Amino acid sequence: MAAPEGVTRQGRVRGVQGPHGIEVFRGIPYAAPPFGPRRFTAPQPAPAWDGVRDATAFGPTAPKGGYAPPFDALLPEPSVAGEDCLNLNVWTPSAVGRAPVMVWLHGGAFVNGSGAVPSHDGTAFARDGVVCVTANYRLGTDGYLALEGAPDNRGVLDQIAALRWVRDNIAAFGGDPDRVTVAGESAGAMSVAFLLAAPAARGLFHRAILQSGAHGMTVTPATARRITARFAAMLEIEPTAAAFAALPAAALGPAQTLLRAEAAAGADPALWGETALTMLPFAPIADDPAALRAATDPGVPLLVGSTTEEYRLFTVPTGVVDRVTTARLRQTAARYGLDPDTALPVYAAARPGAGPGDLMSAILTDWFFRVPALRLAEAARRAHVYEFGWPSSACDGRLGACHGSDVPFVFDTLGTAGGLLGPDPAPQALADAMHAAWVAFATGDDPGWPAYTPERRATLRFGGPDRAVPRLLDDPGAAERALWDGVR
């Protein structure tokens, strides 16, 4: 069988025939390599080429630091060398037709991740009639550091450029440019939230899926400038675009890790500002998260949610969960805006036998992920809310339904999830149900449960500690949710 070919505005590409009769094209450039004179600029058009370009292998990934142990075993992170890192991948049922399209933005705290992560393989979406696109975007310093004379939010500008590529080219790959869903998890979902409010992104997508990320994780311009100055001081350079451009992008990874550790320590709130709470010194820059939420395009239907035990990914593998004292628990609750005397009994009542580390994980799950998702759903004209509750067997079963564990279920890629799901078999029936809901939503249909309203707060829980089937709930975790009114 002849290798499939596709046509882009820059030239022809040759892909591979995948399973189920689908066609796969990898590493297609959507913008020019962001290096040399293009470093720290807005994305520029990809140059044209003659002949047929090979698109059978993943292209270069954006420079990144990678995950340190123990997270490297839990979150497989491929790296491909090369400068042509602003590329995307397409899985399509056929180059003939006008199928719905899902554009996936990966997570990784804005410093890691790529469109080549194994669990993000789009085969199942194409098998079920949805063209799936995964894209790389600039990370860390190159994507988000505030630099005089350079545009802010270069990683977001890359994402918009990828969406424009989809608008201009996806019809040649069997996709419908008028039925595009933008989706993401973690930093990818936070990016989707930003795109929902970005004038430059209007009309480039028509539905949005946000998994474990929403508004409230941005950096103000003033904080961003202080972070740039601090980072430059760490590197012993001037805080200018020219000075940072003189450093190889790949060499910045370890320094970025140290900078994030300083932000997480939050020893100097006057320096770190809001990043002392978010622990994301590299993130989209915006004046006011509330203004972003208010500017969200009301015409875009949303599918939004979180996992039940998000923050255990960050406390269990490191052993932090067992080192948290009652004093630290109270301090953390207060730091994130809760009255410990009021809030801790509420969280403890819902979790009999939970220790201080378990309760801290639950509070941070709500602050970082669940409550921002619910606030976005409350403000939307139409949103469907889910919760992923199936507990991983990793870390001796203590990891729970943690951050990122829903992604292999959405993509129906349970066999590629690395160590995140644990040694016990994950329920394929739950992957079938979750994947089908995402396909239905991207196709333009209802995902299969009622929309979220302030009166009912309908939420579909996918799995749980005692069951692996979806269950419709009204306002789960209501008592904890109410604690955050006026706070988050």
- Residue of higher predicted confidence among 469 and 463: 463
Residue 94 has pLDDT above 90, yes or no: no
Residue 9 has pLDDT above 90, yes or no: yes
The two tokens of residue 474 are: 């009204």
What is the pLDDT at residue 248?
Answer: 87
Task: Please state, in angstroms and as integers, the Cα–Cα distance from residue 51 to each residue in 5, 6, 14, 57, 366, following that order.
Answer: 12, 12, 10, 18, 52
| 66-79: pLDDT as tens digits | 898 999 999 989 99
Compute the average pLDDT of residues 176-192: 98
| 142-181: pLDDT as tens digits | 999 999 999 999 999 999 999 999 999 999 999 999 999 9
Please report, to the nearest 10 degrees, the dihedral formed by the alpha carbons of residues 144, 168, 32, 206 taken in order.
10
Domains of the chain: 5-211 (3.40.50.1820), 221-278 (no CATH), 307-483 (3.40.50.1820)
Q: How confident is the model at residue 417 (pLDDT cuts 50, 70, 90)?
A: confident
What is the pLDDT at residue 126?
Answer: 98
Q: Which residues are catalytic?
A: 186, 310, 403
Put simply, whether the predicted model's pTM sits higher than 0.95 gets the answer: yes
Strand partners, 473: 459
Contact between residue 306 and residue 407 where contact means Cβ atoms under 8 Å apart: no
Residue 272 has pLDDT above 80, yes or no: yes
What is the pLDDT at residue 291?
Answer: 87
Q: How confident is the model at residue 443 (pLDDT cuts 50, 70, 90)?
A: very high
Residue count (the chain): 488
State the chain's maximal CA–CA distance in angstroms. Answer: 69
Alpha helices in 444-486 (DSSP H): 478-483
What is the pLDDT at residue 385?
Answer: 98
HEC sequence for 2-41: CCCEEECCCCEEECEECHHHCEEEEEEECCCCCCHHHCCC
Strand partners, 337: none
Q: How confident is the model at residue 447 (pLDDT cuts 50, 70, 90)?
A: very high
Compute the average pLDDT of residues 320-342: 98
Residue 290 has pLDDT above 90, yes or no: no
Alpha helices in 98-220 (DSSP H): 123-127, 140-144, 154-169, 187-196
